[in-house]
C-alpha cells in the first residue's frame, strides 16, 4: 500500500522532472495527473494511486512548499466536487479516460443541469425529456453503437453554464413511471447547437447563474451514466458530494466570512459596542465548531462516499454565512450600506472574501437555496440523521405523467 514516504518521493520526482518555475502551468498539471498525484485516492491511470484519501494532504504540502501551481479549484468546483465522483462511480472506462483528466486540469469546465423552473425544490418532478433515437447520427465521434438521445427542456440556476464545456444532466426518459424512477443521467455537450444559455441577473447585480434551454440536443448513449431509468440513484452521488463540497470545504481557523468580520472589529475600534462584541464572539465559536465538524466529516469520507451528514454541514454553512455577513454590515454602521460595484458581469467564480461587506451580505442569501434548499436539507437531516418519521408523500407511486403540474 502507498504510504506517506512513497508519496513524498513521487512528488519530489515530479518536481525534479518538471520544475514549477521552468514548466508551463498546464504542462505541470498534466504531468501531475499522469503521475497519480492529482487525487491520490482515485485509481491508477485516472490521476490517482489507489492510496488512502487522507494522504492527499502530504502531496499538497510538498507541492505548495515548492511553489507549484494548483488547478484553480474554485473555478472548476462543480467538476471536481460533483461531476468527477459521479463519473468515477458510474462512467464507463472510456468515459472516465476521456473526461477526468481535462476536468481536473481545468481545461474543461463543468456545470450541473439539474434544477428546473417547473419542479422547484422537488427535483424528482423534473420535466426535461430525453427520447431514444437509434437511427440518429450524432455529431460527436464518441457516440459508439448505442445511438443517440434527443433532449428537450429547460434548466435554471445553472452556475458556470456560460463558461462550461460539459454538463451533468438528468432528464425524464419514461413519463409512465413514478417521478423517481423514470429519470436517466447523461453527460451533455454544452457546445451542441441546441443548447442556449441566458444570464440570470441576481441581487448582487451580476449574473453568476444562468437559465439553459435545450432544444433537440443530441447525446450519444455512450455518454449515459448508469442504467436507463436509474438516474435518480446516480444523482444522489452528485448531490451528496455537492453538499460536502459547498459546506465542508477546508479552511484555516478564522478563515472565510468570520475572518472578515473579525478583521473589521480589530481594525475599527470606533465601531465597537458591547452587544456587537457578544454576537461576534458567539459567531466566532459557531464558525470554529463548523470548521472542526468539517474536518471530522472529511475524515469520514476516507472510508467511503459522503452520507446525509454533508446535508447538515451545508445547512450550517448557509445559516452561519448569513448571520456573519449581517453582523459585518452592522459593525460597519453607515458604511455597511454602501455597495461598491453593482455591475452586470458574468463571473467565472464566486469570490466572497475578495469583495466588500455589501456583496457578502447580498450573495449569502443564495446560500440557503443553492446545493439544496434549507427546507429540503432539514427534511434530510430529520429523516436520515435523526431517524424521525418521514413526511407523507402521496405521489411517490403515481406515474409522472399523472402528477398535477
**Active-site residues: which are they?**
242
Angle at Cα 108 formed by Cα 106 and Cα 112, nearest 5°?
Answer: 105
- Intra-chain end-to-end CA distance of the chain, in Å: 54
Beta bridge partners of 132: 149
Q: How far apart are CA 162 and CA 198, in angstroms?
A: 8
Rg (CA), the chain: 22
Cell numbers at residue 356, please? Answer: 466588500
Please state, in angstroms and as integers, the Cα–Cα distance from residue 99 to each residue in 142, 146, 225, 335, following that order: 12, 19, 13, 47
Contact indicator for 153, 173 with CB cutoff of 8 Å: no
Only one residue has cell 481536473, namely 104
CB environment 379-389: b (16+ within 10 A), e (fewer): bbbeeeeeeee
Cell numbers for 275, please give them: 452587544
The 10 Å Cβ neighbour count of residue 65 is 10
Instruction: Determine the distance from the C-alpha atom of residue 310 to the mean position of all C-alpha atoms in its chain, rounded to a whole number.
Output: 12
* 213: helix, strand or coil: strand
* CA 357/CA 260 separation, integer angstroms: 8
Q: What are phi and psi of 171, to 5 degrees?
A: -145, 160
Return the bridge partners of 83, or none: none
Residue 201: helix, strand or coil by DSSP?
coil
Residue of 45, 11, 42, 51 lying closest to 28 (CA atoms): 11
Residue carrying the nine cell digits 449515459: 224
Residue 231, C-alpha cell as written in the block: 438516474
As a whole number of angstroms, the distance between CA 290 and CA 93 comes to 38
Backbone angles phi, psi at 119, to 5 degrees: -105, -25
How far apart CA 244 and CA 237 sit, in angstroms, is 11
Element (H, E) at 283: helix 274-301
Amino acid at each position: 500500500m502507498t504510504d506517506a514516504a512513497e508519496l513524498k518521493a513521487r512528488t519530489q520526482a515530479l518536481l525534479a522532472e518538471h520544475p514549477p518555475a521552468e514548466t508551463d502551468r498546464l504542462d505541470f498539471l498534466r504531468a501531475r495527473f499522469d503521475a497519480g498525484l492529482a487525487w491520490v485516492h482515485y485509481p491508477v491511470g485516472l490521476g490517482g494511486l489507489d492510496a488512502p484519501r487522507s494522504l492527499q494532504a502530504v502531496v499538497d504540502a510538498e507541492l505548495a512548499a515548492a511553489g507549484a501551481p494548483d488547478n484553480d479549484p474554485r473555478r472548476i468546483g462543480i467538476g471536481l466536487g460533483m461531476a468527477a465522483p459521479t463519473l468515477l462511480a458510474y462512467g464507463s472506462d472510456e468515459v472516465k479516460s476521456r473526461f477526468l483528466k481535462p476536468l481536473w486540469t481545468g481545461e474543461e469546465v463543468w456545470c450541473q443541469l439539474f434544477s428546473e423552473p417547473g419542479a422547484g425544490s422537488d427535483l424528482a418532478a423534473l420535466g426535461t425529456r430525453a427520447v431514444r433515437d437509434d437511427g440518429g447520427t450524432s455529431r460527436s465521434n464518441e457516440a459508439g453503437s448505442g445511438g443517440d438521445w434527443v433532449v428537450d427542456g429547460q434548466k435554471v440556476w445553472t452556475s458556470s453554464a456560460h463558461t462550461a464545456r460539459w454538463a451533468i444532466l438528468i432528464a425524464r426518459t419514461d413519463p409512465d413511471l413514478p417521478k423517481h424512477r423514470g429519470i436517466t443521467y447523461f453527460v451533455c455537450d454544452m457546445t451542441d447547437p441546441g443548447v442556449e444559455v441566458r444570464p440570470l441577473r441576481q441581487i448582487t447585480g451580476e449574473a453568476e447563474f444562468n437559465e439553459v434551454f435545450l432544444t433537440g440536443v443530441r447525446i450519444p448513449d455512450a455518454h449515459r451514466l448508469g442504467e436507463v431509468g436509474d438516474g435518480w440513484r446516480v444523482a444522489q452521488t452528485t448531490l451528496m458530494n455537492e453538499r460536502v463540497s459547498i459546506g465542508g470545504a477546508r479552511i484555516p481557523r478564522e478563515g472565510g466570512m468570520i475572518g472578515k468580520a473579525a478583521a473589521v472589529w480589530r481594525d475599527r475600534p470606533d465601531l465597537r459596542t458591547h452587544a456587537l462584541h457578544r454576537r461576534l464572539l458567539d459567531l466566532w465559536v459557531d464558525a470554529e465548531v463548523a470548521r472542526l465538524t468539517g474536518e471530522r466529516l472529511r475524515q469520514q469520507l476516507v472510508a467511503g462516499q459522503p452520507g446525509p451528514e454533508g446535508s447538515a454541514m451545508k445547512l450550517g454553512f448557509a445559516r452561519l454565512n448569513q448571520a456573519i455577513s449581517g453582523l459585518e454590515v452592522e459593525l460597519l454602521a453607515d458604511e455597511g450600506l454602501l455597495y461598491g460595484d453593482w455591475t452586470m458581469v458574468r463571473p467565472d467564480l464566486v469570490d466572497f472574501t475578495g469583495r466588500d461587506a455589501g456583496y457578502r451580505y447580498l450573495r449569502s442569501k443564495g446560500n440557503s437555496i443553492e446545493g439544496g434548499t434549507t427546507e429540503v436539507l432539514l427534511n434530510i437531516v430529520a429523516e436520515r440523521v435523526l431517524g424521525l418519521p418521514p413526511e407523507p408523500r402521496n405521489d411517490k407511486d403515481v406515474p409522472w405523467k399523472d402528477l398535477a403540474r
